[in-house]
Structure 1
């Protein structure tokens, strides 16, 4: 064999051996990464199975679900009572209404948007100082209609008048006073300013373009859909809604929500007295595992987390019936995100070539 030919044969064997070694290393790394990912997913599933109140867990990275858990008898596709996660939907509807010029903006007084007959006689004149922004950020100043005040409010024969005649315990724009009555006033404002009920708006402005089902829910004695509680969405629908925010208001190439509205919704304006987290337009703002997290919560353990820095969206639904599981359960849900889901996504990102 000629020397040149012998050399080429030798070089070819060396090249094949090197390529084989590289492929083995890449395959080994991919296998190890997959094994580690499966281990973390298994750990997450094991933890949620130990929480009898937790009904579903749905987590997506870059829009692709990597955990899809439903407890026996529960479903990721069936609507569930999302409790106060409803406030996020109402907030989105307000943003769309402003974008469509149905409302002027967040500085508009609420009394300009409500029908005249909804303004109760004898109400404190300061109600005319309450602006849309104050309701979105829970800074209306009125006595709360949530917590121990919720039952008397719902038992009243006019939820709008009841909310507007609560005594002022702070000035409009003052401290955060979490109150479902605030978002119910927003629901009434949406209805009166648009001429369409809140369910119709939700179905038209969010349900149809996002291809999610939003069934009718509770109405007040005057027929206004309850703003901020008792809506029903499936976990998959909630994930789609959360992804809308993570994607800057765009779904399937179509703009549904203004990017400016999302930025404003995720801007901290005040702070919760209950958990010390910051608060925007219906969204709480916190930090988990050194990542900024925007989230909504509902009674009993309904959760929607959006973590833009990781392209991570997480949905959890839990038993919505009283009694409350308490702060320890809520902390467990946060820990699940901080100690398992976030590290999983971080590792997956590092393992990508």
Structure 2
């Protein structure tokens, strides 16, 4: 009978929808579980090489990339092997005069692993910002609301592009990675559950200082930079990065972790090989050039990599999404991320050190100073 057939079809449709919902929920739960075990001691190394298995992601560059030249092998300084073990270093690439003088991989990783950048990604976004400023898509004095009207009436309502580049937006945001209920971890769960980071950002209304005041490191400011660049160009960050940086740098396979809307997690979701992180450092070390090609305006390299933010006395100093040691030497710059990710650049000595790691003790007393000291010793050993 027709009515029996209709009931059967309706029941089948319900089962299909229920099955689809169950599959979606299973994937969502899986991502949430991945967040909760991301830094587990027995899983952190593998997780950091396979972020696309735990989170939504989108490719940036898919080509083979270009090789880095090799120079004479230079021995690491005394104590480096202990440092590698103590800091759970997974990849170490050293360049001198643009050529590899040391390359090693540890804890079961290889040269082909696409390692998570964490906040090293912020420095990539700074470079892209400089290119787009040079092209006239935006200026540092622009209110962020000029390019992202949705942020009007939020904590970012009075901030400029320069304010967010220097982490001086004034937003109230808890960056404690070890507090499950901190804002940074709530944001991580938003990504895991397929939420929208733009909505998460627009819901932030609290401020604790005026824009342009004291620098306080809050990663959500970098997401706002990404929102501004998307608003100013009408394009996605992966597309912009591939065109303006990945291609000219010769970076091979790479991808971003994304939220549920496909928006790149620009504040820390970049993944590529350790060699390719070194390529970025080499370009910055050469004043924004790759061979005869000016990839990033030299004026932006010079302006963005000097202490310009209102950092607290006695601590690390900050520019436009770049770090400098508190006792920084001329030309000494760092991109750095949690758990031991670094691109250290010594422009005077023509040395770049790219490091990936899985360092659960990265916040320990003296660890940061010890890392900088080791980078300086490795640089000095290059001659």
Q: Under a length normalisation based on structure 1, what TM-score does the superposition of the two structures give?
A: 0.78
Could you tell me which runs of 5 or more consecutive residues in structure 1 were left unpaired when the two chains were aligned. Answer: 1-36, 349-353
Q: Considering only aligned residues, what root-mean-square deviation do their CA atoms show, in Å? A: 2.5
Q: SS where residue 310 of structure 1 aligns?
A: coil
How do 1:114-263 residues align onto structure 2 when only pairs under 5 Å count? 114=148, 116=149, 118-119=150-151, 123-124=153-154, 127-144=156-173, 146-147=175-176, 148-156=182-190, 157-164=195-202, 165-213=204-252, 215-263=254-302
Relative to structure 1, the CA distance from residue 289 to residue 133 in structure 2 (aligned partners, 3 Å threshold; closer, same or farther) is closer
Preserved CA contact (<8 Å) 1:199 1:225: yes
Using the TM superposition, give the Cα deviation of residue 243 of structure 1 relative to its aligned residue in structure 2, in angstroms: 0.8
Residue in 2 that maps onto 1:47: 82
CA-to-partner distance for each residue in 1:160-197, whole Å, 9 max, x for gaps?
Answer: 34334231101000011111111111112222221221
User: How much has 1:204 moved relative to structure 2?
Assistant: 1.2
Higher helix share: 1
Which blocks of at least 5 consecutive residues in structure 2 are unaligned? 1-72, 177-181
Indicate the SS of the match to 1:309. Answer: coil
Shift, 1:227, TM fit: 2.0
Which of 147, 168, 177 is 1:113 aligned to? 147
Q: Is the 8 A contact 2:159 2:169 kept in 1?
A: yes
Q: Secondary structure at the match of 1:217?
A: strand
Displacement of 1:144: 2.1
Counterpart position of 1:56: 91
What SS class does the counterpart of residue 210 from structure 2 fall into? coil
How many Å separate the matches in 2 of 1:282 and 1:275?
19
Q: State how far apart, in whole Å, the 2-side matches of 1:55 and 1:274 are.
A: 33
**Which residue in 2 is equivalent to 1:297?**
336
Instruction: Return closer, same or farther for 1:52/1:130 CA change in 2, 3 Å cut-off.
Output: closer
* CA–CA separation in structure 1 for the residues paired with 2:249 and 2:240: 13
2:317 alignment partner in structure 1? 278
- Determine which structure has more spread, i.e. the larger CA radius of gyration: 1
Any idea what the Cα deviations from partners look like across 1:322-345, whole Å, max 9, x if unmatched? 67553443333222123x313313
Q: Contact 1:144 / 1:178 at 8 angstroms: preserved in 2?
A: no
Aligned length: 301
Displacement after TM superposition at 1:286 (Å) = 2.1
Checking the alignment, whether the CA contact within 8 Å between 1:303 and 1:316 is kept in structure 2 is: yes
Q: How far, CA to CA, are the matches of 1:268 and 1:202 in structure 2?
A: 25
Per-residue CA distance 1:287-345 (angstroms, 9 max, x = gap): 6695552101101011111111111111111016x67553443333222123x313313
